[in-house]
């Protein structure tokens, strides 16, 4: 190995919520631990993510004593999660759960709400963040910037000061490539975001799908008063600046922006066209302490038997009725496995780790409560079903720290990609927007099942349908196919050091490209 190249300075700018920031934590770790590079990483975000940046530094230094500390810069302003969890937006989200609402009205309201959620700041808040980002860029003077495509104030700031940047995104190839598909396929072939339609869209649903896609375009173009309000404020207080969002970058190829995505063609929808500006890196998994280090007792429990791991994310809460539906699904799966043990002992002792976010006050672990009654005294007293509200270990540590044979989750990008990288079959219960796409991916790729596709409008899932999907993945005729395919894709995702290393090297390559261009000009 040759001597390290001269030091390079990289600035990463992201929202602080983990759905966006995890790829930045992963890539920052990769940047400072590359053996053949000397990289100074600056990480700009909001205070909630700072402790995780510091943990990433600890991981990096532990794994490579030469690693530089990651330097955190706090962005002045309100973070995205705090902005879209304000009472007025939460009230609008709760109103959408009314199952009696007309579906067309629901679609319109949902799309209008989404426009607010992806741009949740007021004009003054937006401008405050914009100026803070500009100050950080001027202070750091980076060789290259990688920015979160969902962080509109930062995108607007970087374009305004003509900074050189690359987009680093947890999004998929499809998210950026849709406008480039031929023959009107985004209208009739690919399901509109947030719909239950299969892929490709069945003939009977094509008119509705076309209508919903066009509706989204029309609403965004002509009825997004919130965006126009922010744009007016930006124009008034930052002369010459133009509000920039993810859509603005995706639809304007002439800008020459490149997109590093946490995805690979092999774990994506079939696409006719992938523009050269989209650079697939693969899942960017952030480092985590092993389960044995964080929670030795849980590590021992997980290793004792095959385990179904249920984790519906941090934002999905179940009331008692929905918890009972989950219990019904788990009981169906457990009983089905017991019934075949006489001929196949591979899943002997199957157990369940269920991370439950409870909505309301109800018991799950005491005799006489509804969940206990469904799962049965034998399962609960024996400890074969462990229901927890929280554990310290990261989901990746759980997936890789025991004998998890199936993961049940809500279809978030991180959950899907972490499970793919761990080589574990999955059952997905999508709840909104792009989560449906990840359920479709699991079925297209042959690594799992969509667990609530037949559930009626307005309901999260039904126990019997979910239980049937679990049985299929665990012991059905395609169980070995799911298992083998999941392992194949996990091996693929780990090539060349995995997505975080590929992304890190591509970011550094942007510096070299710029240096070469400057040399040619000289």
What CA–CA distance (Å, rounded) separates 286 from 24?
8
Tell me what pLDDT residue 103 has.
Answer: 60
Are 81 and 187 within one domain? Answer: yes
Average pLDDT of the chain to the nearest whole number: 89
Model pTM?
A: 0.91
What band does 456 get if pLDDT is binned at 50, 70 and 90? low
What band does 105 get if pLDDT is binned at 50, 70 and 90? low
- Specify if 355 maps to a domain: yes
346 contacts: CB under 8 Å, gap ≥ 6: 306
- Specify if 2 maps to a domain: no
Are 432 and 409 within one domain? Answer: yes
Tell me what pLDDT residue 165 has.
Answer: 95
Are 512 and 396 within one domain? Answer: no
- Specify if 112 maps to a domain: yes
Are 13 and 111 within one domain? Answer: yes
- Specify if 3 maps to a domain: no
> What's the domain count of the chain?
2
Segment 205-227 mean pLDDT: 85
Are 82 and 222 within one domain? Answer: yes
Lowest mean pLDDT among 158-167, 210-219, 260-269, 501-510: 210-219
Are 143 and 75 within one domain? Answer: yes
User: Which residue from 137, 152, 452 is spatially nearest to 325, judged by alpha carbons?
Assistant: 452
Tell me what pLDDT residue 275 has.
Answer: 92
Are 178 and 318 within one domain? Answer: no
* C-beta neighbour count of 142 within 10 angstroms: 23
pLDDT > 90 in the chain, percent: 71
Tell me what pLDDT residue 100 has.
Answer: 44
Select the more confidently predicted residue: 263 or 4: 263
Lowest mean pLDDT among 20-29, 292-301, 377-386: 377-386
Are 77 and 42 within one domain? Answer: yes
Query: Is omega for the bond preceding 200 within 30 degrees of 0, making it cis?
Result: yes
What band does 522 get if pLDDT is binned at 50, 70 and 90? very low
* C-beta neighbour count of 297 within 10 angstroms: 9
Segment 433-458 mean pLDDT: 89
Tell me what pLDDT residue 154 has.
Answer: 97
- For residue 95, give the CATH number of its domain: 3.40.50.2000
What band does 83 get if pLDDT is binned at 50, 70 and 90? confident
Range of the domain at 60: 8-284+498-521
What CA–CA distance (Å, rounded) separates 140 from 9?
8
Are 189 and 297 within one domain? Answer: no
263 contacts: CB under 8 Å, gap ≥ 6: 171, 172, 173, 174, 280, 281, 282, 283, 417
Are 168 and 93 within one domain? Answer: yes
């Amino acid at each position: 190995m040759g001597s390290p190249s001269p030091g390079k300075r990289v600035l990463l700018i992201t929202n602080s919520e983990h759905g966006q920031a995890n790829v930045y934590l992963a890539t920052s770790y990769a940047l400072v631990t590359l053996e053949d590079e000397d990289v100074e990483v600056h990480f700009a975000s909001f205070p909630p993510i700072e402790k995780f940046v510091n943990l990433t530094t600890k991981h990096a230094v532990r794994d490579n004593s030469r690693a530089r500390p990651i330097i955190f810069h706090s962005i002045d302003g309100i973070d995205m999660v705090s902005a879209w969890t304000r009472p007025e937006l939460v009230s609008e989200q709760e109103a959408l759960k009314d199952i009696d609402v007309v579906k067309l009205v629901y679609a319109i309201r949902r799309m209008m709400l989404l426009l607010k959620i992806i741009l949740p700041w007021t004009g003054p808040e937006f401008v405050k963040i914009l100026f803070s980002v500009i100050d950080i860029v001027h202070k750091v003077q980076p060789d290259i910037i990688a920015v979160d495509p969902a962080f509109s104030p930062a995108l607007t700031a970087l374009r305004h000061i003509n900074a050189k940047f690359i987009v680093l995104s947890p999004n998929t190839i499809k998210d950026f490539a849709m406008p480039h598909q031929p023959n009107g396929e985004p209208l009739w072939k690919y399901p509109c975001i947030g719909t239950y339609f299969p892929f490709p869209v069945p003939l009977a649903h094509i008119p509705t799908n076309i209508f919903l896609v066009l509706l989204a375009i029309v609403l965004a173009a002509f009825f997004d008063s919130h965006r126009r309000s922010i744009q007016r404020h930006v124009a008034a207080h930052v002369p010459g600046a133009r509000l920039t969002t993810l859509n603005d970058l995706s639809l304007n190829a002439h800008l020459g922006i490149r997109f590093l995505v946490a995805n690979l063609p092999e774990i994506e929808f079939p696409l006719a066209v992938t523009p050269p500006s989209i650079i697939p890196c693969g899942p960017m998994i952030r480092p985590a302490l092993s389960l044995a280090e964080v929670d030795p007792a849980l590590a021992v429990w997980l290793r004792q038997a095959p385990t179904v791991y249920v984790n519906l994310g941090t934002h999905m809460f179940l009331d008692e009725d929905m918890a009972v539906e989950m219990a019904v699904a788990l009981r169906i799966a457990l009983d089905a496995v017991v019934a075949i043990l006489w001929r196949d002992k591979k899943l002997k002792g199957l157990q369940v780790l269920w991370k439950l976010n409870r909505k309301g006050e109800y018991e799950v672990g005491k005799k006489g409560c509804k969940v206990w009654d469904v799962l049965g005294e034998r399962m609960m007293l024996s400890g074969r079903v462990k229901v927890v509200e929280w554990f310290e270990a990261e989901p990746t540590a759980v997936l890789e720290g025991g004998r998890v044979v199936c993961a049940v989750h809500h279809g978030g990008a991180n959950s899907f990609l972490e499970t793919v990288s761990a080589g574990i079959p999955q059952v997905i219960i999508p709840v909104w927007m792009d989560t449906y796409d990840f359920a479709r991916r699991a079925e297209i790729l042959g690594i799992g099942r969509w667990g609530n596709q037949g559930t009626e409008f307005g309901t999260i899932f039904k126990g019997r349908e979910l239980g049937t999907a679990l049985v299929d993945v665990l012991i059905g005729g395609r169980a070995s196919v799911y298992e083998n395919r999941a392992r194949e894709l996990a091996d693929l995702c780990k090539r060349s050091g995995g997505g975080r290393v590929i992304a890190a090297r591509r970011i550094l390559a942007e510096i070299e490209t710029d240096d070469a261009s400057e040399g040619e000009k000289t």
